[in-house]
A = this chain, B = another copy of it.
Amino acid sequence: MSIVVVGSVGIDTIETPFGREENILGGSACYFSLAACNFTDVHMVSSVGEDFPPAYSELLRSKGIDTEGIEISAGGTFRWEGRYDYDMKDPETVSVILGVLGSFDPVVPEKSRDADYLFLANTDPEIQMKVLEQVNSPRVVACDTMNFWIDNKLEELKALLGKVNILIINDSEARQLSEEPLMARAARKVMDMGPEFLIVKRGEYGALLFSREDLFFAPSYMLEQVLDPTGAGDTFAGGFMGYVASMDKDLDFTGFKKGVAYGSVLASFTVEDFSVRRLGSLHKEEIERRYEEFLKLSTM
């Protein structure tokens, strides 16, 4: 079953202690789509400027991703420059230029409006809501958000959470949104806002999947090399949603556990190189091999 994703498409410049790369493909919708496309059809909804390199559009299309919903507008593409320290967490934003994303008014192409799976990647909750309203009757809606929207658009975010099935956020965001330091309580409070399922991303510590009745504690693949952590969370979401859509079942905790495992596996590839480079060269067999290793990690 196909997925519609709305989120950013951007051009990044990234510096880590292990290198610097300029004008590379980035944005939440790109990482998401390049992960999800390993499992199912993906339709992107986003906006870029006239400066967006055709080679980047070509890369997305070469993976079978539908880019018709990426509007090309007069103006510049979203650009972000970030710098990571040795801990490879919480990058410092050196500069950010919103460009055409600043006036983005999303339009889901007619042919994509019957999608059963919808992912609202991290962006303004008002934009997320506009996209949600254009998809006719999705069976599974998941979304991401970040501290900036919790600080600045909490009411709009809460309105959105009342309409989604799955929220995928990191642990500091779950604590901030719930105002609860203990994760067990934080998760209940977040689910009280609407989502039936909560996925808490914890980087090298793995991920948690919550429902009202169940809890799954996913390990993380143990990496030998981390060059650039950018996009790991969006890749995780793409691996998760891609697998879930490919199963084509109703909301199901057991299936979601496998989705979390695939999300972790896909994210483990992303961070091994800058930008979407590793995702771009990924083969199905590599994914399956790492998935098998992943399953062994927490087997008693």
Residues of A within 8 A of B (CB): 86-88, 181-185, 202, 204-206, 215-220, 222-226, 257-258, 261, 295, 297-298, 300
State in angstroms the CA–CA spacing of A185 and B295 once bound together: 21
A87: chain B residues at CB < 8 Å are 181
**A216 with B298: in contact, given A202-B205, A205-B205, A206-B205 (CB under 8 Å)?**
yes
A–B complex contacts, Cβ < 8 Å, 13 sampled: A86-B181, A182-B225, A184-B222, A184-B223, A202-B205, A205-B206, A206-B206, A215-B297, A217-B220, A217-B222, A218-B298, A219-B219, A219-B298
B297 near A226 (CB under 8 angstroms)? no
Residue of B nearest to A181 (CB): B86
Give the Cβ gap from A27 to chain B, nearest Cβ, in Å.
27
State in angstroms the CA–CA spacing of A206 and B217 once bound together: 9
A185: chain B residues at CB < 8 Å are 224
A224: chain B residues at CB < 8 Å are 182, 184-185
Residue of B nearest to A293 (CB): B215
Give the Cβ gap from A35 to chain B, nearest Cβ, in Å.
20
State in angstroms the CA–CA spacing of A217 and B222 once bound together: 9
State in angstroms the CA–CA spacing of A215 and B224 once bound together: 13
A218: chain B residues at CB < 8 Å are 298
A223: chain B residues at CB < 8 Å are 182, 184
A220: chain B residues at CB < 8 Å are 217
State in angstroms the CA–CA spacing of A210 and B257 once bound together: 24
**Centre residue among A215, A257, A261 by max chain B CB count within 10 A:** A215
Give the Cβ gap from A61 to chain B, nearest Cβ, in Å.
34
Give the Cβ gap from A13 to chain B, nearest Cβ, in Å.
23
- In the complex this chain forms, how many copies of it are found? 2
State in angstroms the CA–CA spacing of A292 and B23 once bound together: 51
Contact of A181 among B88, B205, B215 (CB under 8 A): B88
State in angstroms the CA–CA spacing of A86 and B180 once bound together: 10
A184: chain B residues at CB < 8 Å are 222-224
A-B contacts besides A216-B297, A295-B300, A298-B298, 15 pairs, CB < 8 Å: A87-B181, A88-B181, A182-B224, A182-B225, A184-B222, A202-B205, A205-B205, A206-B206, A206-B217, A215-B222, A216-B298, A217-B220, A217-B298, A218-B298, A257-B300
State in angstroms the CA–CA spacing of A50 and B6 once bound together: 69
Residue of B nearest to A208 (CB): B222
**A219 with B217: in contact, given A88-B181, A295-B300 (CB under 8 Å)?**
yes
State in angstroms the CA–CA spacing of A223 and B185 once bound together: 9
A298: chain B residues at CB < 8 Å are 216-219, 298
Give the Cβ gap from A97 to chain B, nearest Cβ, in Å.
31
State in angstroms the CA–CA spacing of A202 and B223 once bound together: 17
**A297 with B217: in contact, given A202-B205, A205-B206, A206-B205 (CB under 8 Å)?**
yes
Residue of B nearest to A298 (CB): B298
Contact of A222 among B183, B219, B225, B261 (CB under 8 A): B183
